Amino acid sequence: MKEKEQTDILIIGSGLGGLVCAAILGSEGYKVLLVEKNKQVGGCLQTFSRDKVIFDSGVHYIGGLEKGQNLYQIFKYLGLMDKLKLQRMDENAFDKIIFEGDEKEYPMAQGYDHFISRLVEMFPEEEAAIRTYCDRIKEVCNKFPLYNLRIGEGMKEKADVLEIDTKGFIESITKNKRLQEVLAGNNALYAGVPDKTPFYVHALVINSYIESSWKCVDGGSQIGKILVQKIREYGGDIIRNAEVKSIVAENDLITHVVLADGQKLYAKHFISNIHPAQTLAMTDSHLIRNVYRKRLNSLENTISSFTINAVLKKDCFPYFKHNYYYHGDDDAVWNGWKYDEDSWPRNYAFFLSANSKSTEYAEALSLLTYMDYNDVAKWKDSFNTTSNIEDRGEDYEAFKIRKAEKLLDMAEKRFPGLRNCIEKYYVATPLSYRDYIGNADGSLYGIMKDYRDPLKTFISPRTKIPNLYLTGQNLVLHGILGVTISALVTCSSFTDLEVLVEKIRNA
């Protein structure tokens, strides 16, 4: 694109939020330019290949994709559903919650009636509590209009459910300690923190998977690739390997962005799909007051993670259509993110990748556990991307191996023989997530929500600069569904939301 040539909307970052905004606004007649710092688009949708085996960087499974459900309808409208390669997960258990010293596997099934009946099998005395839990989830979800693809009363409609504490609510419906742990057992889906994580976050996330759960066959990057095709069909353009270094304001409006190579790109409107605090750090304008910058900078991000991506030996480890969430001690469900050198790791998530080669044996395994960014902060000045590879040194490699072996030791306890099925493994640390996804500290899900002050962590897509907008996981909710809904909120600044929602409902 030539300097001074102006597009309608320039979008910074090609994560799902940026892609969905570009596709929707392109379909509404806007000329859109998407600018991505990496070689591959998609943010958390990115996949990578090791030894001819595909791994997901972030999207291990998706909810709400059965015909008529919320994400299905949005993806249908975006032209995705007829092209995606999907595999429905085990309807008897999309997730299994397991604990050290307890041989039982506690299932989370698809469909509310089935979800209830499977848990009642494990906790026959707790049917009333389990039903109360499910009823409350559905009640809370119904308070969020866009989540249900309707237009509502905004914050007023959901105000009375924003200040419910997830841990507190679960403990209020049952005294059974193990049931409490099971109901919160897959909270790595939102990096739940005790006495902070709002129940609406838990409800919106878990409801989606209870309704229906799916894996992307051969990786989630197919979502990004299809959206890129749609964007180009609508006349949009995408620039890769182009990192935005500054967002320039003149006369109270953003006029252009400056890339790392000095190139300037001009537009009438700008949407940032990167973290709001990072967006403002790149923007120099008197319209953004210091009190607002301080407020965003003060918001706590969710913790990061350490992941082993293992290539498995051929026909060695059986494939199954569910995930595992393992907890190594009684307090690990809610406090697995608190650890020291000796106690790490305290829990992990266990994901097998769906592939088109075999449904009998797995070829790829991901083990994910919490890790604080401070654990790798000594190497923070090094950056590794596809276009810039830096050697972080022998001590960093030794750190990765030491941590990986500890995590494998924990997994081997529950899955004896797992090590013998691993051909080779690769490690991602908080620095990996920082470099490829773009969060400054490798945060899993961006800004942490807090039931004690819910409005503080709701970020508006509009900034104080009239033509600068935000999108992505920090607005409404993280995850595939949450980010997609956040993109709809951003698009409402450019198009009639009621008309757009009606199009989606009728797709």
Structure tokens at 238: 């995408």
Q: Evaluate whether 5 touches 31 at the Cβ level (below 8 Å).
A: no
Q: How far apart are CA 244 and CA 104, in angstroms?
A: 50
Provide the Cα torsion 14, 15, 21, 23; round to 10°. 70
Q: Can you name the residues that pair with 284 across neighbouring β-strands?
A: 248
**118, amino acid identity:** R
- 24 alpha-carbon distance from chain centroid: 20
Q: How is 457-475 classified by DSSP, letter by letter? A: GPPPSB-SSTTEEE-STTT
Which class is domain 6-77+218-299+451-505? Answer: alpha beta
Residues 6 or more apart in contact with residue 117 via CB below 8 angstroms: 109
Residues 6 or more apart in contact with residue 483 via CB below 8 angstroms: 15, 16, 17, 20, 472, 473, 477
Place of tokens 């300097």: 3
Each of the 507 residues of the chain gets a pLDDT tens digit; together they read 445 568 999 999 999 999 999 999 999 999 999 999 988 888 888 888 888 888 888 889 999 999 999 999 999 999 999 999 999 999 999 999 999 999 999 999 999 999 999 999 999 999 999 999 999 999 999 999 999 999 987 778 888 999 999 999 999 999 999 999 999 999 999 999 999 999 999 999 999 999 999 999 999 999 999 999 999 999 999 999 999 999 999 999 999 999 999 999 999 999 999 999 999 999 999 999 999 899 889 999 999 999 999 999 999 999 999 999 999 988 999 999 999 999 999 999 999 999 998 889 999 999 999 999 999 999 998 887 655 667 888 999 999 999 999 999 999 999 999 999 999 999 999 999 888 777 889 999 999 999 999 988 889 999 999 999 999 999 988 999 999 999 999 999 999 999 999 999 999
Q: Is 155 helix (H, G, I), strand (E, B) or coil?
A: helix
Domain residue extents for the chain: 6-77+218-299+451-505, 108-216, 303-444
Q: How far apart are CA 441 and CA 30, in angstroms?
A: 34
Q: How far apart are CA 441 and CA 431, in angstroms?
A: 7
pLDDT confidence of residue 32: 98
DSSP letter, residue 319:
-
Phi/psi of residue 475, nearest 5 degrees: -85, -70
Residues 6 or more apart in contact with residue 49 via CB below 8 angstroms: 55
- Strand (E) or helix (H) holding 121: helix 112-122
Q: How far apart are CA 475 and CA 54, in angstroms?
A: 30
Q: How far is CA 79 from CA 24, 73, 128, 457, in A?
A: 11, 10, 42, 32
**372, amino acid identity:** D
- pTM of the predicted structure, to 2 decimals: 0.95
Nearest to 81 by CA among 56, 57, 62, 102: 62
Q: Evaluate whether 239 touches 33 at the Cβ level (below 8 Å).
A: yes
First to last CA, the chain: 34
Provide the Cα torsion 260, 383, 449, 93; round to 10°. 120
